[in-house]
Amino acid sequence: MSQPPDVPAIETPDLRRQRLRWLDSLAAGARGRQRLAVLSICSSGALLIGQAAAIAWLIQAVLVARRPLAEATGVLLALMLVLIVRALLSSFTQAMAGDVADSARLALRERIYARLLGQGPLWLRQQRSGELGELMLAHADAVESYYAGYQPVRIEVVVVPLLILLAVAYVDWVVALILLFTAPLVPFFMMLVGWGAEAAGRAQLGELARMSGHFADRIKGLGLLRLYGRGEAELEGVAAAAEGVRERTMKVLRIAFLSSTVLEFFASVSVAMVALYLGLSYLGLMSLHAAVPTLGAGMFCLLLAPEFYAPLRRLAAHYHDRANALAAAAEVERLLGALPAQAMPEEVAGAP
């Protein structure tokens, strides 16, 4: 997998999968907390179905069946309990994901540090210290966002929509079909946008590393620059490098906003289709069942329809974290010649 530092590796699916496996190996010491975060976020999604069922039952019982509020006390208490438990699970998920991200960031820095020590002083003298410093800063932050944002949502987007789809299919199979056939549109367009986001993120990290190296080199030679009167010219060079970083960063943000816009559009259209079907059914303009769905059944489907796409929305919001992490892995490989393996304790402890 080794590549010369100045020759970029040809991007292939196998190389991307290899880098993803390397990123996953960074959190090997926090697998337990990672599983707890996944279990917590999936449990919260399952409780969401019970929350929607309780709200729909209350609407049907109080507004349609005209039952007294005293009969709904048990359901109200259950709804309150579900809301409290979901809030606690959300906090627990964030805490566990944050711990996993911290562990992965520390593992990355230990591996890079051990690799730099192993290269020796002669190799280090030939490198730009600013670029190597960015391996510990921006690249580590990209890996942290990957674990704190993208990784928990990646599992949620598989489990929670499936549970919601089964629950909706039990109540109304037409709504389930609408959700089922509109869901694949979102990952397809996310994949198309994601390729551009990864390329833009890699270019942005590379530009940031070059600017840091440029600035660090000028700081080292500050005395000579003042002696030969090159201060103003070098200031213009630093400003030009900073402008390059700004342009690259804005390009990454444009792609991220485009991804979110595409997802919001298809999610909104899908929810509108569910609302249109239910509205036409209640008006008697569409009859796909032997009986018109009750108000409670319609509210249950309408409450879960946006939640069906909510994990996909969160995945889109954090999908650029995956692209940035892959870009950071590519930059680590470019600067160090290969992705550093797990650092041995004696390698880190042996540092001066």
List pLDDT tens digits, range 177-224. 988 888 777 666 666 665 566 566 666 666 666 666 666 667 767 767
Q: Which residues contact 20 (CB under 8 A, 6 or more apart)?
A: 326
Alpha-carbon radius of gyration of the chain: 26
Nearest to 179 by CA among 42, 326, 304, 319: 304
Angstrom distance (rounded) from CA 11 to CA 326: 11
Class of domain 29-349: mainly alpha
Q: Per-domain residue ranges for the chain? A: 29-349
Average pLDDT over residues 254-267: 73
3-state secondary structure of 328: helix
Instruction: Report whether 49 contacts 169 (CB < 8 A).
Output: no
Q: What does the pLDDT look like over 122-175, one tens digit per residue? A: 777 766 666 666 666 666 777 887 888 888 888 888 899 999 999 999 998 889
Q: What is the pLDDT at residue 209?
A: 65
For the entire predicted model, the pTM comes to 0.72
